[in-house]
Structure 1
Amino acid sequence: MAEGEFEDDLDEDGGEGEVPKRPEGALKPIPRSRKPERFTGTSDIYATVDFPLKKHISPHGQVTAVSMMKDEGPFVLEWIAHHLAVGFTDILVYTNDCSDGTDDMLIRLEQLGLAHHRRNVIPEGLRPQPSALNYAQEDPVVQAADWLMVFDADEFLSIRYGDGTLDDLIAAAVAQEANGIVITWRIFGSGGVIDWSRAPVTEQYLMAAPTTWNKGWGVKTLFRFDADYWKLGIHRPKLKNKVIDTAFPDHVKWLNGSGKVMDDYFKFRGWRSITRTVGYDWVQLNHYAVKSVESYAIRRLRGNVNNKADKYNPDYWALQDRNEVRDDTMLRYTDRRNAIMDQLLADPVLNRLHFAALERVETRLQEIRQTEAYANLRAGLELASQIPIGQITAKPPQPRDKEKIAALMSDVEKRRSAKARDERKAEPKEPVEVMPGGLYLPGPLAAAEDLPLDWTANHMVELPADPRIFTPQALALIGTGRFERALARRLPGLLPAQGRLLDIGAGCGFLSAQLARTRGGLQITLIEDDPGLRATLARVIARNGLAGRADFVLADDALPAGDALAALVARHRPDMLLLSDPRLAGDPLPALVAALPNPLPGVILINGRLLEHGFAGMDAAAGALALRGYAPGLGFEPSVARGFTRTVPA
């Protein structure tokens, strides 16, 4: 049977017959000088079969997805249904050398008016993706696009903003006079799934890399397209040479995934987010590069979209199989996607092709499960899954080469960069009080699962480099043994012999653990009821030999409110009260100070998450403490801690 042909399919009137092959020269070019007022399709088979499900009509014109696929048969309909649910009006897919019906499904979708399919005939010496993008640049569907995004079959758009659709997302960008959004990958791992399943990809895999994991910060770009100015690219479009040295780049305003303005340099180059440009508050691109072990095994047998022979090895698995944080945002689309899937599968042609693709995979799996190669692959992947995230390196490593980048930059880019730098230097700098840097990610945190992690000695306490808990700056400090160094050095000298410490909002427990390791005779009680931090704290206690000690207790108390909190403090009678719980920020902290009964702690120290979240309210807290006879002091940097000592006898 010839490629693109199959038996027992619906004809144009919905009866049984063959899907026609697209005639040569059937595409209808659109003049570059104008776009059509109403886009109706560009091939002789497009929308030739009447179908109840119609393409979305967007208030932003034609919103087009461009993708490349090879043997994605089991996943095609979910990918199409999801992105129709998200709000793309047109989906253009290039295929090459398919053997599982992927191309036939896309041709049928083209007949139904829900997608556009093209053959990717790859010139010698060119990789599949660049080849497809060269064709797409001149394709009438792309030429007619108002907004456009290039992304792959293992990438699913996930929009948090508004109702989760492109209509709302683009409207938010347009409201800021922006004409593009740079969307960062979120790497989703196997979630420990071994066996093949027919369940939707976006429901099976809900475990992901932390948003702070910069090795997963590749991007794709949704942008306002005009063929006169832009050339398509895999990660971002490229300005055409003829417009680089014109006023056009000044009109390019792209936002990141949190709706913040991107750096100017990204107009010219770059394919990854960096710390100051990354954002996930509005939108992210879920990247399901590995899926289950058996899905991965099938992929290894068929190559990949860019013909990288050694891509799908255990190193690649370790890089992509990140399962540190649960992210179930995709479930917001379940009902909408399922309704579209049901309509697609009501078409006999798509139904037959879809289930034939599933059966083909399952038959192949039955064959390879009995082989030594499968056993070796599975064993290798299980080992790769155990590699801590802190030990993962991108292969091959590509350190930033400033000289090479400078050599590649055009004169226009250099002039613009120098101008922007000079403008920043010329801006008057107002003195700003330094706010504390965050050490912990916003809670509540999920870290119940005991993952393999790097542990590093910080003073006398070993801490885990857990990206589910700590911010990137905290992870860097842990890795160099400098986590909360200033406080760790000073605290042992602030407690009397046989002193008592109550640590409210203990976090990972580092400061209290350090005290226990350096000072004998202390009674230390820790309170922490964030589930992720409490699980981490328990691991730190066990790792550092502090479990089961009567003088070092992780209390069962949850943080109460009002007078009950003051009573809890009184029950423990601390000489030092260490306050770090962010829920005390604002009014609760002065209220606690006012309600504390005698005898009062000799030292109250405010730091960590409470200082970070309650920074603006420190004056009110200091006033309440002054009324109880406390004076500020102890000499800590304001961004590290605020210390208060009792100067009036109880």
Structure 2
Amino acid sequence: MSITAVTCVKNEGPFLLEWIAFHQCIGVTDFLFYSNDCDDGTDTLLDALAELGHVQHLPNPAEGRNYQMEALKDAKKQKVVQDADWVWVADVDEFPNIHVGDHSFAALIDACGNPQTISLNFQFFANNEIDTFEDRPVIEQFTHSHNPDLWCGEAAIEVKSLVRQDFPLQYFGAHRPFFQPKVKKKQRPSWTDGSGRDVPHRFLVAANPRRIRRFPAAGSRSHATLNHYALRSLDSYLVKNDRGDVNRENRAFDDTYWRERNDPAWEDTSIRRYLPALRKQIETLKSQGNIAQLHEACVTAHKARRDALLEQKEYRNMQKHLRRASKLPPQEEAMLRDLGLLEEIL
């Protein structure tokens, strides 16, 4: 069975080998990377991995700012996607944590009854009060998340999707595929959550614009969940902010994204079962060609960028602010304040 993972990256060099090795461990056979505007060695490392046959690497074709959707539009035309039995669209901070069988994608597909699509709900992992970037597996370091059934007071949580080749595809979305509008009701694709249950009808047909990327997570994680490490260390989060459009001079830093994903209420270390195989596969990749040296160059560039950012007052202020920030998501804090319970909680 062939499985192609499709992803977009910018300055993710230190995290590439872990993500590739992890996905190789769960059965991904091919990788299609799109990169843009990298200055930390990400593109050089991907080119070297491509030369060794581990991945395919293309420049992002986007001419404007819609990088991900333009890349996914292009991916649909690529042979590595067209020839795959399954396609997995995800980011390099997202790791499927499969609870059944041998913990592979194949075991998940079997447990879900071989549907045409499986959508896994995010489980956002908090920062764990880790300030310093370390070059060791992300899945080992960050072990606390929100209650898996609730996030920021919402029962519906976003997903990423594994798509079978015979899905009547109109186009790939970043979170879920969309089927052709002329598909008859009885021919709509079979589609399950991470427990093998049919996804809600309104999600299936994308009937509600606000919910086309999510559905209730309660009961949906029996076979698998999707660990999402959107924050990582505080060092890496600062670099992540710099990677995007950040210009904080003369305006207050908005900590909403951080606080929404830094809820440590729930401990979940189950993904650590992959660590022995993951470490072995990372070392296998590093042993080939100049991969180890290129990875180390990415790590060095990541640390250097952190140091450069912390020479700027706005980033030092951001660092201090995030260290002190409440671990209650803003929505939950507002609700507790309205109920007069906030002081009791704090």
TM-score by length of 1: 0.48
C-alpha distance in 1, partners of 2:228/2:146?
Answer: 10
- Alignment match, 2:94: 155
Aligned pairs for 1:349-498 within 5 A: 349-387=290-328, 391=332, 456=339
User: In structure 2, do the counterparts of structure 1 residues 172 and 194 end up closer, same or farther at CA, with 3 Å as the change threshold?
Assistant: same
Q: Are the aligned partners of 1:319 and 1:392 in contact in 2 as well (CA < 8 Å)?
A: no
Q: Which segment drifts farther, 191-200 or 362-371?
A: 362-371
- Alignment match, 2:137: 200
Q: Are the aligned partners of 1:454 and 1:465 in contact in 2 as well (CA < 8 Å)?
A: no
Q: Are the aligned partners of 1:68 and 1:93 in contact in 2 as well (CA < 8 Å)?
A: yes
Q: Are the aligned partners of 2:170 and 2:178 in contact in 1 as well (CA < 8 Å)?
A: yes
Amino acid at match of 1:206: T
- Alignment match, 2:213: 271
- Alignment match, 1:293: 234
- Alignment match, 1:118: 58
> Any unmatched runs of 5+ in structure 2?
207-211
> Any unmatched runs of 5+ in structure 1?
1-60, 394-452, 467-542, 544-650
Q: Are the aligned partners of 1:229 and 1:240 in contact in 2 as well (CA < 8 Å)?
A: yes
C-alpha distance in 1, partners of 2:299/2:321?
Answer: 26
Amino acid at match of 1:391: E
- Alignment match, 1:587: none
User: Secondary structure, in 3 states, of the residue corresponding to 1:148?
Assistant: strand
C-alpha distance in 2, partners of 1:313/1:187?
Answer: 19
User: Secondary structure, in 3 states, of the residue corresponding to 1:374?
Assistant: helix
CA RMSD in angstroms, aligned pairs only: 2.6
User: In structure 2, do the counterparts of structure 1 residues 120 and 354 end up closer, same or farther at CA, with 3 Å as the change threshold?
Assistant: same
Q: Are the aligned partners of 1:390 and 1:454 in contact in 2 as well (CA < 8 Å)?
A: no
- Alignment match, 1:330: 271
- Alignment match, 1:109: 49
Q: Are the aligned partners of 1:214 and 1:274 in contact in 2 as well (CA < 8 Å)?
A: no
- Alignment match, 1:209: 146
C-alpha distance in 2, partners of 1:164/1:84?
Answer: 12
User: In structure 2, do the counterparts of structure 1 residues 337 and 362 end up closer, same or farther at CA, with 3 Å as the change threshold?
Assistant: same
Question: Are 2:29 and 1:89 equivalent residues in the alignment?
Answer: yes
C-alpha distance in 2, partners of 1:197/1:455?
Answer: 40
Aligned pairs for 1:620-631 within 5 A: none
C-alpha distance in 1, partners of 2:16/2:124?
Answer: 20
- Alignment match, 1:78: 18
C-alpha distance in 2, partners of 1:118/1:392?
Answer: 43
Q: Are the aligned partners of 2:126 and 2:261 in contact in 1 as well (CA < 8 Å)?
A: yes
User: Secondary structure, in 3 states, of the residue corresponding to 1:74?
Assistant: helix
Q: Which segment drifts farther, 315-324 or 207-216?
A: 207-216
User: Which string of whole-angstrom CA distances, capped at 9 and with x for unpartnered residues, describes residues 588-610 of structure 1?
Assistant: xxxxxxxxxxxxxxxxxxxxxxx
- Alignment match, 1:546: none
User: In structure 2, do the counterparts of structure 1 residues 366 and 260 end up closer, same or farther at CA, with 3 Å as the change threshold?
Assistant: same
Q: CA deviation at 1:455?
A: 9.7
Q: Are the aligned partners of 1:455 and 1:464 in contact in 2 as well (CA < 8 Å)?
A: no
User: In structure 2, do the counterparts of structure 1 residues 248 and 294 end up closer, same or farther at CA, with 3 Å as the change threshold?
Assistant: same
C-alpha distance in 1, partners of 2:281/2:85?
Answer: 24
C-alpha distance in 2, partners of 1:465/1:259?
Answer: 40
Question: Are 2:282 and 1:341 equivalent residues in the alignment?
Answer: yes
User: In structure 2, do the counterparts of structure 1 residues 113 and 258 end up closer, same or farther at CA, with 3 Å as the change threshold?
Assistant: same
Q: CA deviation at 1:349?
A: 1.4
C-alpha distance in 1, partners of 2:344/2:202?
Answer: 32
- Alignment match, 2:180: 240
Q: CA deviation at 1:308?
A: 8.5
2:122 to 174, 179, 185: 185
Q: Are the aligned partners of 2:144 and 2:266 in contact in 1 as well (CA < 8 Å)?
A: yes
User: Which string of whole-angstrom CA distances, capped at 9 and with x for unpartnered residues, describes residues 66-114 of structure 1?
Assistant: 1111110111111111111111111111111111121222222222222
Q: Are the aligned partners of 1:455 and 1:465 in contact in 2 as well (CA < 8 Å)?
A: no
Q: CA deviation at 1:352?
A: 1.1
TM-score by length of 2: 0.88
User: In structure 2, do the counterparts of structure 1 residues 65 and 177 end up closer, same or farther at CA, with 3 Å as the change threshold?
Assistant: closer
Q: CA deviation at 1:371?
A: 3.5
User: Secondary structure, in 3 states, of the residue corresponding to 1:261?
Assistant: coil
User: Which string of whole-angstrom CA distances, capped at 9 and with x for unpartnered residues, describes residues 431-453 of structure 1?
Assistant: xxxxxxxxxxxxxxxxxxxxxx7
User: In structure 2, do the counterparts of structure 1 residues 392 and 274 end up closer, same or farther at CA, with 3 Å as the change threshold?
Assistant: farther
User: Secondary structure, in 3 states, of the residue corresponding to 2:149?
Assistant: coil
Report % sequence identity: 31
Amino acid at match of 2:318: L
How many residue pairs were aligned?
333
User: Which string of whole-angstrom CA distances, capped at 9 and with x for unpartnered residues, describes residues 514-569 of structure 1?
Assistant: xxxxxxxxxxxxxxxxxxxxxxxxxxxxx9xxxxxxxxxxxxxxxxxxxxxxxxxx
C-alpha distance in 2, partners of 1:93/1:342?
Answer: 21
C-alpha distance in 2, partners of 1:389/1:179?
Answer: 37
